[in-house]
Amino acid sequence: MKNLLLNLTFTAILLSVGYSECNESNWQDYYPEMQYCDLSGANLEGAILFNADLDGANLSEANLNGAYLSGADLEGADLEGAILYGAYLNGANLSGANLFNANLEGANLSEANLSGANLGGANLFNANLSGANLFNANLEGANLSEANLSDANLQGADLLEGNLTGAYLLETNLQGAILILADLQGANLYSANLQGAVLIGANLSYANLTGAYLTDADLSSANLLGADLQGADLEGAEFHLANLCNLSGSGHEECEESSGITDENGDGYDDSSYDAGLEDCSYEDLDDDGFDDDSFDEGQMSFDTNSDGMADYRPVVRILGDDWMQIATTCDGNYIDDGATCEDMTDGNISQNVEVSGDIVNLCINGDVVEVIYNIHFSCTNSQGYTDEKTRVVRVYNPNYTSDYELGAQSGDINGDGLLNIIDMVMYIEIITNP
């Protein structure tokens, strides 16, 4: 009888591999061990899932707006069509995850591991991917406009027809990346590594490529109108049929005529496409900003005249102190925020325009509460009507909280490890057969 029961037990163990009963209604009971949890279509807006193990979980079409997934393990997880607007995924492991058509606008993915992930068609507008690992990731058709990809690793990534307008790619590794027909207008690629990258037909107009490594890169038919290539390494680069009009620091400051077109006005394009009295491509740069002065009438400024990686026409909010804080609960004092500054190239220091909204942080929480998450929002608008926003997250936690999980109080938990699983079944059978 004992052997039969043990055989049945181990059969159950084998059948349970890769299977989980975790779902939207009971995931809290499994947290943080949520491998293979079925959360497809679940509403997890603002959910606290720090360091959760969601390996292989199904989160397709789930609502994770503003969710806290910092440090979470989402390797191989299915997040197709998921909504992760403003979610916190910094330091998360998303290697091999499926994020096809996911909405990650404004999400924090700094230092995240997205190697081999599928981000095709994903919306990453204004997302923070600084220091992220996107080695061999699929970003075909993804929207990365104004995203921060500084110091990120995109070696071998597929960015076919990707939108990277105004993106920040300072010292980013794009070695061997596929950027065919990608839109990089106004992008900041300062000191970026584009060695061997394929940029056929890409739009790099007014991009900052100062100090970039373009050795053996293929820029055939690319649009480099007004791009800044000062100090760039162009050894072995291919520029066949590329528009090299008004380049700065490349030795191609005058418009070049591409074969197969008529270009009597020397603007780098077929004259037939510029009827209706459009101006020619004469070049004058009295303010030495790397751009034709005529293209910045009425005092308009270039994308990044100070090479700080930020578009000059937008204000920049900088949070003083950490944007993510953890404070142990105390009833002896009040929370005092360090605030934020704001400045831009047009108005200068406009910190007086910073408006604060969001939660009021209470450091004194009840003893039966594990933690409370507070969001403090900083917003600043310049004289041109452009606005920048940043958010500080404050986690107030109870270091003395002891959960039922930690006490092993779950019914049927024979070994007191806080989990009801096959091991408890084996021990229970042992007690029955050997009283």
Mean pLDDT highest for which of 2-16, 29-43, 338-352? Answer: 29-43
User: In whole angstroms, what is the distance from residue 304 CA to residue 314 CA?
Assistant: 10
Query: Both 320 and 363 in a single domain?
Result: yes
Is pTM beyond 0.85? Reply is no
In-domain check, residue 335? yes
Same domain (yes/no): 145, 118: yes
Do 190 and 207 fall within a single domain?
A: yes
**Would residue 410 count as lying in a domain?**
no
With respect to residue 43, please indicate whether it lies within any of the assigned structural domains.
yes
Does residue 333 fall inside a structural domain? yes
141 and 260 both lie in a single domain: no
Nearest to 38 by CA among 78, 7, 4, 75: 78
User: To which H or E segment does residue 3 belong?
Assistant: helix 2-15
Same domain, 297 and 337: no
DSSP assignment of 186-231 equals T-B-TT-B-TT-B-TT-B-TT-B-TT-B-TT-B-TT-B-TT-B-TT
- The number of domains in the chain is 3
- Cβ atoms of 208 and 187 within 8 Å: the answer is yes
Quickly state the pLDDT bin for 344 (edges 50, 70, 90). confident
Chain segment 284-302, per-residue pLDDT in tens? 555 555 555 444 333 333 4
Range of the domain at 392: 316-397
How much is the pLDDT for 383? Answer: 87
Of 284, 308, 332, at which residue does a domain stop? 308
User: Residue 432 falls within a domain, yes or no?
Assistant: no
Asked whether residue 137 is assigned to any structural domain, the reply reads yes
- Domain assignment present for residue 28? The answer is no
Residue type, 243: N
Q: Is the pLDDT of residue 336 over 90?
A: yes
For the CA atoms of 121, 122, 123, 125, the dihedral, rounded to the nearest 10 degrees, stands at -100
My answer on whether 292 and 358 are in the same domain is: no
- 131 and 176 in a common domain: no
Percent of the chain with pLDDT over 90: 61
Residues 13-52 pLDDT 10s: 333 445 579 999 999 999 999 999 999 999 999 999 999 9
Asked if pLDDT for residue 343 goes beyond 50, the answer is yes
**How far apart are the C-alpha atoms of 192 and 213, rounded to whole Å?**
6
Residue 422 in any domain: the answer is no
